[in-house]
Amino acid sequence: MRRYIVGRLLLMIPTLVGVAILTFVIMRAVPGDIVALKYAGSPVPQSVIDEERQLLGLDKPLWEQFVVWMGDIARFDLGTSLWTGNSVVDEIQVRFPLSLELAFLATLLAIAIALPLGVLAAVRQDSWVDYAIRVFSIGGLAMPSFWIGILMILTTLTLWGWAPPLVFTPFTEDPVANLAQLILPAIAVGYRYSAVSMRMTRSTVLEVLREDYVRTARAKGLRETVVVMRHALRNALLPVVTVISLEFAFLIGGLVVTEQVFNLNGIGKLLVDAVAHRDYTLIQAIVLLLAAVFVLINFLVDMVYVVLDPRIRYS
């Protein structure tokens, strides 16, 4: 097992290198360079353009730029933001806790919605409860999370004249103010995130409920709750966990748009602002970071499999 973990961790390196190469290629493969693009149509003297090119190292040959960039990444030096002039690492560090907490809350909410409702829909298959839950989950798939966010703000505004606070308070300082700000965005992201997992829970539980061991468990006279919770759900969890990890991409997507709706100063908003300001160092760094997080999550999920299903032994 330890060898497997080490092996998987080592395998992540080529993927991450690939991610870095691709990020580099996407940002550089455009006709004309990014500085020309940034100042397209604005009367900026050539000297400024040349200066910025030099700052970015764009005057060097492409392979040299790449080697330098990779070397910097290896030393966790992601460069200086063109827009704010601060170190990119600092810019990201300030925003990271908020996005992380939002992601955590949304995942928690998604699981808290998806598992019970999915199981309930399966147990009451083809009843009105089942249909209601399925419509609810399809709604989550169809409604964009930023629109859900807008609707929630609209509702709280008209009903109670209340809108979430705009200033971020760390959880450790004032948990209530912190949650007041983050709970609505977490629901907006979590609802969408829960939809697919809910449908997956329903179909795998349905499948497992027809297994022989479930019939045996019932024949033994176990209470239905025990049968469903201990025998069915536990065995149905594996595909659900897979879906949760696959849907993690949606979580990140949800973060990007929801932070915009609720005006939260997180990584997603930073990315959008960076694009708006044509701050290519910052864009590159955030894209790289989010992809790296995604790769890491997938690895962690594979580890969760082992906990959930003792039959799985990686070697």
Q: What is the dihedral of CA 89, 94, 98, 104, to 10 degrees?
A: 40
Range in contact with another protein (rule: CB under 8 A) among 23-31, 106-114, 169-177, 299-307: 23-31
CA atoms of 16 and 29, how far apart (whole Å): 19
Q: Binding marks (x or -) toward another protein, 74..113, rule CB under 8 A?
A: ----------------------------------------
Element (H, E) at 252: helix 248-261
Closest approach of another protein to the CB of residue 120, in Å: 17
Of the two residues 168 and 248, which places its CB atom closer to another protein in the complex?
248
Task: Write the burial class of residue 177 (CB in 10 Å: 0-12 exposed, 13-18 middle, 19+ buried).
Answer: middle
Instruction: By CB under 8 A, tell whether 261 contacts another protein.
Output: yes
11 vs 108, beta carbon nearer another protein: 11
- Write b or e for each residue in 79-96: b if 16 or more Cβ atoms lie within 10 A of its Cβ, otherwise e: bbbbbeeeebeebbeebe
Instruction: Take residue 299 and report the two structure tokens written for it.
Output: 């690895």
Shortest separation between residue 250's beta carbon and another protein, angstroms: 8
Closest C-alpha to 292, from 2, 10, 13, 29: 13
**Interface residues for another protein in 226-245 (CB under 8 A)?**
239, 243
- The residue (of 176 and 300) whose beta carbon lies closer to another protein is 300
**Residue 158 in the binding site for another protein (CB under 8 A):** yes
Neighbours of 261 (CB within 10 A): 19
Which lies closer to another protein via its Cβ, residue 28 or residue 60? 28
Question: What 8-state DSSP symbol labels residue 80?
Answer: B
| 153 binding another protein? (CB under 8 A) | yes
- Give the amino acid at 48: V
**Which residues from 179-198 bind another protein, rule CB under 8 A?**
196
Tell me if 139 contacts another protein by CB under 8 A: yes
Q: How far is the CB of 261 from another protein (least distance, A)?
A: 7
- Total residues in contact with another protein, by rule CB under 8 A: 62
DSSP string, 101-157: HHHHHHHHHHHHHHHHHHHHHHHTTTSHHHHHHHHHHHHHHHS-HHHHHHHHHHHHH
Site track 32-71 with another protein (rule: CB under 8 A), x = hit: --x--x--x-------------------------------
Going by C-alpha positions, the residue among 241, 255, 299 that lies closest to residue 111 is 241
| 207 sits near another protein (criterion: CB under 8 A) | yes
CB of 112 to another protein, least distance (A): 19
CA dist list (Å): 77 to 5, 12, 38, 88: 27, 20, 23, 8
Q: Which stretches of the chain bind another protein, using CB under 8 A?
A: 14-15, 18-19, 21-23, 26-27, 29-30, 34, 37, 40, 138-139, 141-144, 146-147, 150-151, 153-154, 157-158, 196, 199-200, 203-204, 206-207, 210, 239, 243, 248-250, 252-253, 256-257, 260-261, 271-272, 274-276, 278, 280, 283, 286-287, 290-291, 294-295, 298
